[in-house]
Chains A and B, each alone.
Chain A
């Protein structure tokens, strides 16, 4: 097998619970033919103990769990083929839970008959 070439992957990281500004971390990743951005993220976590947070589910572009900005454009990480250096940023920078993960939906459960409203208020699990 050929020696894998290395690409540079810059990832915007943040941990809103800990405050502080988002910052970029860069990884040198060995690239195989036919890897997706999702494959690269998995490899980064395995090789570098990076603890990058991201979502992947269906792996075929249907569920949009893995939506993120790839080199400035919003893409599905599972279907985006990697051919060179990458800059990865969250799809919705104003509602990040951590790194590349957008905050989950908060659902306020209305009393029966009213239906459910989705909103951004904190879900208190003790309610």
Chain B
């Protein structure tokens, strides 16, 4: 049994930032990660901007910023984009503290290439860097401090005693053994639940672990229905599934792409006749999914993304000036070579694309200190909900990560240092959780996790994704509940090898994915309006009078229930209708 002051689950953006802050506050810190430090999570995949108000960028950081901007204007833009659903306490903290966090990162060696103005921002606020740069910078700081990092630990549950979180139980992948960690404070920094959906920009390990564990421990989730999609991601070939390469080409900020259904119609005329494909992300996603679900899509379940109307040399020239620094002149982006694909595009072929899950605005309910409703439990980064409301501005994922990471780290450390003694885990609870962890290895279990995962993802994309509606959501919930209550008990690992057993891991992740998807579906069903990233075909309008409230999910007696709670406001009044 390992004992530590502050336990941080997740080693990347928010987790690393929290560890640094907690360590600097005098606490003894342990990070556990299901992958490897600096090599797991979504931070490294970001195409990547960090936002602060433009005046601060100029005054504090010495970059070309607009002195007309203010933290208040930034606050307003965030709340407008979030359709007023944002937790304004968290927004206040973000706009006030992100300039200092940015300065710290620059002092730590973060390289920023330039400052740009992105959609939804009234001023240039986006400092462009890369996910790799951010990860390298933070990892360096973690390594310089006496922070214990344990890799290959899959935390399966939080440990509680009298509703306080006292630590965590995990599977040591390498040894194939359970690991118990007792902590005076625990921080969830586990990221979004990307793999709920079949096409995602997110990494393999993002399977809703933090969200599900929080629910099981008795914490609450906020606005889980607010799931952000990138409208045009690759659905083929398998090695590029969910890749946002087409989104780098257009239609926003770049080439004037045409989106076609199987008839060759530019279907965006139905949704935004003026801007057509240059419309907003949410309208694009809705337009694309409607074609797909109504049978007018492409053979692999997407729509056609075409550049055939543009001269070849214009398209070729784009590689030299466009999508910097992510796209290189030879059509490579990150580690993937898109030249073969672009050769076909230049011969007149269209690319099959569909919306890919990109970011979760919703997550574990926290206050502006990163505290959840359970004493001893904190959350920071994408796993935490509320700051972005119903939709997120570009650059604010990194802003959330670095601001919340530091805050949660500081507050968790202070909390831990005030505790005189470690709280003992409840042995009966420990035993029951260990048994559940080992269930996939017991007996002759007839089901494997792979087909169930694909079924879950299909349900998510078709019924709990871009397009939502009452009856399909109800049907989805019935199936999800059946999968959780029945199929899950019959799913197991065929190999009994304990060490590095990926099939066992898939079983454990499947449980978290089902729990988290149920939270998303129940929240989507509860919100009978459309707002930001949440679109209901049966309630297509926003309804501030009735629905400008948060959905809150909690597990009560084993059932996931949704209640509505007021939005926290500080300086911006909420619209009434």
Which residues of chain A have a CB within 8 Å of any CB of chain B?
Answer: 15, 17, 32-36, 38-39, 45-46, 49-65, 76, 78-79, 81, 97-99, 101, 103-105, 107, 109-116, 118, 123, 125-127
Contact = CB atoms under 8 A, between A and B. Distances in A.
Closest 8 CB pairs of A and B: A61-B335, A34-B237, A51-B495, A36-B239, A53-B500, A49-B494, A104-B151, A79-B335
B149 A107 contact: yes
B145 interface: yes
B450 interface: yes
30 contacts: A17-B499, A33-B237, A34-B238, A35-B238, A36-B239, A45-B502, A49-B448, A49-B494, A49-B503, A53-B501, A57-B41, A58-B44, A58-B45, A58-B203, A59-B241, A60-B335, A61-B336, A63-B38, A63-B44, A63-B203, A64-B39, A65-B40, A79-B335, A97-B174, A105-B36, A109-B146, A113-B146, A114-B146, A115-B144, A126-B1
A62 B2 contact: no
Contacts of B239: 34-36, 38-39, 59, 78-79, 81
Given A35-B237, A116-B145, A125-B179, A62 B334 contact: yes
A53 B495 CA distance: 12
Interface of B: 1-2, 35-41, 44-45, 131-132, 143-152, 172, 174, 179, 203-205, 236-243, 333-337, 448, 450, 493-495, 497, 499-503
Given A39-B238, A104-B174, A115-B143, A99 B44 contact: no
A116 B147 contact: yes
Contacts, number: 146
A112 B242 CA distance: 43
The binding surface of chain B is classed by DSSP as loop
A104 B36 contact: yes
A24 B125 CA distance: 54
Given A55-B35, A65-B35, A98-B499, 15 more contacts: A34-B236, A35-B237, A51-B494, A53-B500, A59-B242, A60-B243, A60-B336, A62-B45, A62-B334, A64-B39, A99-B500, A104-B36, A107-B149, A118-B143, A125-B2
Given A39-B238, A49-B503, A115-B144, A126 B45 contact: no
B267 to A, nearest CB: 26
Contacts of A15: 497, 499
Nearest to B30: A109
Contact of B145 (A39, A50, A79, A115): A115
